[in-house]
Amino acid sequence: MYINENSKVVVQGITGNQGMFHTKLMLDYGTKIVAGVTPGKDGQIVHGIPVFNDVQSAVKETRC
């Protein structure tokens, strides 16, 4: 896997305490987070990032 400044990230578990905490840190650092995934939390927004029920939906909707 090759990751650089143009990489897009999907955060699994974004709605949990640790997920929200680390998502904020990554955003502050400049990481391009395009979606979050937590089963049963579809439609929520965390730090401006859309949340989906599964990775397949996140990838499809964000085209990443």
Higher pLDDT, 63 or 23: 23
| pTM for the structure as a whole | 0.91
Rounded to an integer, the average pLDDT of 41-55 is: 98
Cβ proximity of 51 and 14 under 8 Å:
yes
Ramachandran category for residue 54: left, alpha or beta (phi over 0 → left; psi -120 to 50 → alpha): beta
Instruction: Provide, rounded to the nearest whole percent, the portion of the chain with pLDDT above 90.
Output: 89
The CATH number of 8-62, from 3.30.465.10, 2.60.40.10, 3.40.640.10, 3.40.50.720, is 3.40.50.720
Spatial strand order of the sheet with 49-52 comes to 8-12, 32-37, 49-52, 45-46
User: Where do the domains of the chain lie?
Assistant: 8-62
